Structure 1
Amino acid sequence: MEKISFRYRAEYAALRSIFWIFERLGREKASAFGGWLARKIGIRLSVHRLAHDNMKRALPGLSEAEMQAALLKMWDNLGRNIAEIPFLQSLLDNPEAVELVGAEYMDTQVASGKSAFFVTAHYGPWELVQVVGKYIKNHSVVLYRAANNPLVEAYFQAMRLDPDNQFYSKGREGAKAMLRAVRDGRAIGLLNDQKLNGGISVPFFGREAMTAPAIAEIARKMEIPIYPMKVERLENGRFRATVSPALDLPRSEDRDADIYEILKRINEVYEDWITERPDHWFWVHNRWP
């Protein structure tokens, strides 16, 4: 059995204490408190400067005041995302809390009997990508980056436990789960906006960004549609999940060119989302070399 370090145990104890407070506050108060706390802490972290530099380079048309306001809202969104984790299942079960737009595209996926990718980013309340599985009810697979702390990871997984969604961390385990899902005709939720050192260099906001190619490789080889999906925060503690039409995927004799073009189109979708609501994207990723 892997030995758990004192640091991991301390982090886990602190997290449990914080989440105990969130649960007793209830979702709305916990969300507000989490947002306030993240705003106070986030702007003091070293990665705040990275987020600022990323935004300045990607969206040079924004004024300094607009960037600072968007970054403050970015931290607010992160804090709310964390505080809302204990309430995810109740949120997903409440159609009045999560408005769903584009359900007809999920109906198309179910009727086809084939698998489909629902691709999103670390944008807004991204944990609510699980709404796909709730709607389709075919044990959708969601791929995510696991927490480094195994105790924290197990705790998060227990809270995410849901008969309509199965979670797998990115890597070998996630790749196998994704291939099984494709064979079984299941939906796959995937966040594909983080840097992957072993990926493919693809433009993102005018700069080359190393991008994970697996979604494009599988989509091209097995003719799996890719539906962009974004989740946004609305007023009064409500949310909107929007599924867009499937991307028009190239299929030529040049495999590498097709994969590159698919990834480029996904990045362009992200660019549109982020330009529209820059406060919704998590800018602290070291996305560019």
Structure 2
Amino acid sequence: MTAAPSTRPATRQMHLEAAFVRGLLAIFRRIGPVRASNLGGFLCRMVGPRLPVSRIADANLRMAMPELDATMRRRVIVDMWDNIGRNAGEFPHLATLPRNPGSGPGWDVVGEEYLTAQAERGGPTIFVSGHIGNWEMLPPAVARYGLPFSSFYRAPNNPLVDRILCDLRDAAMGQPVPLFAKGAKGARSALGHILKGGHLGMLVDQKMNDGVAARFFGLPAMTAGAMAAMAVKLRCPVIPGYVERLGPARLRIHVHPPLDLPDSGNRSQDQMDLTQMVNDWIEGTIRPHPGSWLWLHRRWNVHLPKKKPKK
């Protein structure tokens, strides 16, 4: 994916981290998508729930889904880590996973008529989703319908690892696409891309401190406002979608019809209404299968546990 190269010199630790990532990806690639998914899931199930960051997931679940008891929350957290590990194991196989409506490794699409119709219609499009299932499969799958989309992007701290991941994403997409840094400058570049008839994909389920005060799971949650601002201003389609995990390296892309854009004449209110509409849709997607979502973000405007200071 096209991104600005880092100007930071690579340290010895960065080289070691990159070597570890390359080695792990080589193992995943060698053993095939199903066994790689199973291995990644196993490793993360064993390690992830014991990491301090899992306390954030538990606190989030206490707030967002208070109906879950401690045993249920632990199950969700284990499922979440299993999904994270499977995503990692499947990552080097995204370029070769077949479109397969049957069983076994591959992916299929529910709602492909909305992608086909938009490709025939042409013009700018905004795709919205969240960190649900194997979210990395969404861009390459949509690209197969002639709708390759750019994304907002936060690079890893290690530029060598960043390059490895970007090369894998380019291979999965079948072509390089521009990426936009999160923030005001990136938003301006993304708007220019949309104005030229481009397509933009946005994962809008993370906290954005300079966003708008919408609600998520009934709680105040600062939410990125760029998606709604662009959609309301340009009246371009906003198409929700997410990736459901059916099994090891077995994925289903769900594409929903374009949202009905608010048009009250009050642009600020319309933007707020659209932002809330998307938050509600993401929440409704997460609730039936909470273990498919990434609960590790500090998503809500409340105090969450911090890492214990080292003695």
Question: If the length of structure 2 is used for normalisation, what is the TM-score?
Answer: 0.87
C-alpha displacement of 1:144 = 3.4
Counterpart of 2:177 in 1: which secondary structure? strand
1:117-156 to structure 2, matched below 5 A, reads 117-156=126-165
Equivalence for 2:309: none
Greater mean deviation of Cα atoms: 278-287 or 22-31: 22-31
- CA separation of 1:103 and 1:177: change in aligned 2, threshold 3 A: farther
Unaligned runs of 5+ in 2: 1-6, 302-311
Equivalence for 1:282: 294
Equivalent residues of 2:239, 2:258 under 8 A apart: yes
C-alpha displacement of 1:259 = 1.1
1:185 pairs with 2:197: yes
C-alpha displacement of 1:79 = 0.6
Task: Summarize deviations over 1:119-171 as a string: whole Å, max 9, x none.
Answer: 11001100011144433224422333322211111111111113356251432
| Amino acid across the alignment from 1:134 | A
Distance, in Å, in 2 between the alignment partners of 1:258 and 1:134 is 29
- CA separation of 1:236 and 1:150: change in aligned 2, threshold 3 A: closer
1:114-263 to structure 2, matched below 5 A, reads 114-161=123-170, 162-164=173-175, 166-171=177-182, 174-235=186-247, 237-263=249-275
C-alpha displacement of 1:18 = 1.2
C-alpha displacement of 1:94 = 2.9
- CA separation of 1:164 and 1:20: change in aligned 2, threshold 3 A: closer
Counterpart of 1:276 in 2: which secondary structure? coil
C-alpha displacement of 1:176 = 4.8
Counterpart of 1:185 in 2: which secondary structure? coil
Equivalence for 2:107: 98
Equivalent residues of 2:123, 2:198 under 8 A apart: yes
Equivalent residues of 1:204, 1:268 under 8 A apart: yes
Equivalence for 1:113: 122
Task: Summarize deviations over 1:51-97 as a string: whole Å, max 9, x none.
Answer: 01101211112232222111101000001111111101112x43341
Task: Summarize deviations over 1:214-233 as a string: whole Å, max 9, x none.
Answer: 00000000001111101010
Greater mean deviation of Cα atoms: 105-114 or 148-157: 105-114
Distance, in Å, in 2 between the alignment partners of 1:236 and 1:28 is 5
1:264-279 to structure 2, matched below 5 A, reads 264-279=276-291
Counterpart of 2:96 in 1: which secondary structure? helix
Unaligned runs of 5+ in 1: none
**What's the RMSD between the two structures over aligned residues?**
1.8
C-alpha displacement of 1:242 = 0.6
Counterpart of 1:42 in 2: which secondary structure? helix
Task: Summarize deviations over 1:229-264 as a string: whole Å, max 9, x none.
Answer: 010100354111011111122122322211111111
Question: If the length of structure 1 is used for normalisation, what is the TM-score?
Answer: 0.93
Equivalent residues of 1:144, 1:191 under 8 A apart: no
Equivalent residues of 1:118, 1:228 under 8 A apart: yes
C-alpha displacement of 1:177 = 4.8
1:16-27 to structure 2, matched below 5 A, reads 16-27=22-33
C-alpha displacement of 1:186 = 3.0
Distance, in Å, in 2 between the alignment partners of 1:181 and 1:2 is 27
